[in-house]
Amino acid sequence: MTTKLTLSVNPDAIARIKRHAARRKTSVSRLFETYVYEVTAEPKGKASTPFLDKWKGCLKGADPEDYKRYLLEKYSK
């Protein structure tokens, strides 16, 4: 079941969100609903970003001593 909601929004913001929705082939209502669920969701574990998610796990098996040796060599010159 859906319920109608009336918001007061700057006309420029309305135009922007309509263009955004059209580019994603969705409705403004669907975007708003998704946004509400995203910002009110309970955090799961540590805070993350798409950038961090992309690189997560890329150093599995790496030896921290390698990095220490690299830094010593780099800054001892």
Q: How many Cβ atoms from other residues are within 10 Å of residue 13's Cβ? A: 10
pLDDT digits (tens, 9 = 90+) for 1-20: 889 999 999 999 999 999 99
Q: What is the pLDDT of residue 55?
A: 80
Which helix (H) or strand (E) segment holds residue 42: the answer is none
Q: Is the pTM of this model over 0.75?
A: no
Confidence (pLDDT) at 16: 95
- pLDDT tens digits for 43-62? 777 667 788 788 888 878 88
